[in-house]
């Protein structure tokens, strides 16, 4: 027999942890934006991102993309650790024991609440060893409009690192569609590093996401 009192542990029912109304807090008079457990948040000015992109391009030329990708990897590694820490603390369950749907919903809400746009996972190619990630409204590609190749270097890095840590395998991530090239959204294909290498070549050849998917 189900007991409602037993379902209310400490009279609390964990729900949407990253809900923006609950998650973003702070002491605005002291100039502090914080998340719900007191970690500091920052509103990153777009002019700063623009400056970083311009500075990187000036200093490193074509290597700027690789630098940003590596920055994204470091971001992803730390983001994954903190993300798991927050989920474990709030839901009182290890991430490994959390239902995948709840993990993914938290990731989606986390992405939205931090203002990184919207993120969706398409697991239709899981049986072939790939996950396709779609993002909308990336804050990092607005300075790359009119690009001829996908330009979400930071997101590619963060997704590479995040999913590598999640699966415990060394994964690669290749962007196959980009808002900076006039697409409605960005698409990334994630899989074992060796398996995504050919995708990178197809992107360089100018193949569309759908054409690439058809060839996998």
Partner 1 sequence: MHPTIESLFDAAERRYLEQNELDVLTEYVESLPDRVDAYRCLRDREVAIMQSVADQLEIQFSTESQETLERCLRNALLMMRHAAMSMLQNDSELLDQQLTVWLTETNAVYNTRAIDTALYSLLNQQLEATLTPTQLKLIHPYISAAEQAMNAQSEPITVTA
| Binding stretches for partner 1 (CB under 8 A) | 1-5, 7-8, 13, 15-16, 19-22, 100-102, 104-105, 109, 123, 126
Q: In this complex, which beta carbon is closest to partner 1, that of residue 52 or of residue 166? A: 166
Q: What is the full DSSP assignment across the chain?
A: ---HHHHSBTTB----TT-HHHH-EEEGGGTEEE-TTS-EE----HHHHHHHHHHHHHHHGGGHHHHHHHHHHHHHHHHHHHHHHHHHHHHSS-GGGS-HHHHHHHHHHHHHHTTS-EEEEE-TTGGGT-EEEEEES-TTSGGGTT-SS---HHHHHHHHHHHHHHHTS-EEEEEEE-GGGT-SSEEEEEEEHHHHHHHHHHHHTT--HHHHHHH-
Q: In this complex, which beta carbon is closest to partner 1, that of residue 19 or of residue 60? A: 19
Give the nearest distance from C-beta 15 to partner 1 in angstroms: 5
Q: In this complex, which beta carbon is closest to partner 1, that of residue 8 or of residue 94? A: 8
Give the nearest distance from C-beta 50 to partner 1 in angstroms: 30
Q: Which of 156, 161, 153, 141 is nearest to 189 (CA)?
A: 156
Q: In this complex, which beta carbon is closest to partner 1, that of residue 46 or of residue 167? A: 167
Give the nearest distance from C-beta 182 to partner 1 in angstroms: 29
Give the nearest distance from C-beta 13 to partner 1 in angstroms: 5
Give the nearest distance from C-beta 174 to partner 1 in angstroms: 21
Q: In this complex, which beta carbon is closest to partner 1, that of residue 15 or of residue 62? A: 15
Phi/psi for 19 (5° steps) reads -50, 125
Give the nearest distance from C-beta 73 to partner 1 in angstroms: 24
Q: In this complex, which beta carbon is closest to partner 1, that of residue 19 or of residue 78? A: 19
């Amino acid at each position: 027999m189900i007991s409602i009192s037993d379902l209310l542990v400490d009279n609390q029912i964990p729900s949407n942890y990253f809900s923006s109304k609950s998650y973003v807090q702070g002491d605005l008079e002291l100039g502090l934006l914080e998340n719900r457990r007191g970690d500091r948040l920052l509103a990153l000015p777009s002019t700063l991102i623009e400056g970083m992109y311009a500075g990187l391009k000036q200093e490193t030329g074509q290597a700027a993309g690789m630098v940003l990708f590596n920055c994204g990897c470091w971001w992803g590694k730390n983001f994954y650790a903190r993300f798991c820490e927050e989920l474990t603390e709030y839901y009182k369950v290890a991430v490994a024991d959390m239902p995948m749907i709840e993990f993914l919903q938290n990731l989606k809400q986390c992405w939205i609440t931090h203002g990184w746009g919207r993120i969706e996972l398409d697991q239709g190619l899981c049986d072939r060893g790939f996950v396709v990630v779609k993002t909308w409204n990336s804050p990092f590609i607005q300075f790359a409009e009119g690009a001829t190749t996908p330009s979400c270097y930071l997101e590619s890095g963060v997704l590479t690192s995040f999913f590598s840590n999640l699966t415990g395998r060394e994964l690669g991530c290749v962007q196959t569609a980009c808002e900076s090239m006039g697409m409605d959204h960005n698409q990334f294909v994630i899989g074992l590093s060796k398996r995504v290498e050919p995708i990178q070549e197809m992107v360089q050849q100018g193949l569309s996401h759908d054409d690439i998917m058809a060839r996998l």
